[in-house]
Amino acid sequence: MRILKLTAVLFVLLIFAGCLKNDFTIYVKNGLPVTAAQGIPSLPTGGSGTVDISYNPYSKILDYTLKWSNLTDSVIAVRICGPAPAGYNSPNLTFNPAPASLLSPSTTPHNVLQEFVGTSTKALYAKSGSYSGSLLVDGVKIKEEELLNNSYYFTIHTKTITPGSPPASLVYRWFGEIRGQIIVL
C-alpha cells in the first residue's frame, strides 16, 4: 500500500512538473558598449563605457552594472530611457529648455524611466566610475516586450558646459555624454 501511495505522489509530481514552463532562461549580456557615437546627437568625447545586464523573466527584474571612463566632467545623472530603438531618442514631451531650467540636471529631451541625479553643483560620480542597479519590468512603465526588443537605453549626463550660449552649451547635460542600448536578446 505504501508503494502505491508513493507511486501516486510521484505520478502527480511528474504531471505537475510537465505543466511547468521548462525553458527557465535568464538573459545575460556582458560588455555592451556605452559610447558617444550611440548618442543622438553624437558628441565629441573620449568617454566610453560598458554595461552588463541580466534579465530574469520570472521575477521581472533587470539587473545591471554600468561602467564608464574618460568623461569630460563628473556625472550628474544616470538614466534609463525609452522606448526607442538604437539610433533614435525617446522624446520627453514635457522637455522645455527654458532659461529658468538651463542648469537643472533633470532637464532632458529623453523619456526617462529610471534616474539617479545630482545637482548642477553636486555630482553623483566621478569622470570614471560604475553604478549597479535593478529595474522592475512592471508591464506598465517598463514592458517586457519592449525590453526583449531592445527598446531601452542608458544615458550618462555630465556637468560639462561647452563654450557658447545655451542651448548648445548644455548639450552634454541634456542629451547625455554617452549612451548604451540595452540588448537582451
Write down the architecture of domain 23-182 according to CATH: Sandwich (2.60)
pLDDT at 147: 97
135 against 16, higher pLDDT:
135
**pLDDT at 128 > cutoff 90:** yes
% of the chain with per-residue pLDDT over 70: 79
Note the pLDDT of residue 100: 46
Where along the chain do its domains lie? Answer: 23-182
Q: What is the pLDDT, as a whole number, of residue 162?
A: 85
Q: What is the pTM of this model?
A: 0.82
> What is the residue-averaged pLDDT of the chain?
84
CA pseudo-torsion sign 112, 118, 121, 127 = negative
Per-residue confidence (pLDDT) for residue 160, from 0 to 100: 87
Residue 1 has pLDDT above 50, yes or no: yes
User: Per residue in 43-102, pLDDT tens?
Assistant: 999 999 999 999 999 999 999 999 999 999 999 889 999 999 999 999 887 776 665 454
The pair phi, psi for residue 162, each rounded to 5°, is: -90, 160
Q: Is 91 helix (H, G, I), strand (E, B) or coil?
A: strand
In angstroms, the Cα distances linking 132 to 4, 66, 74 are 52, 6, 17
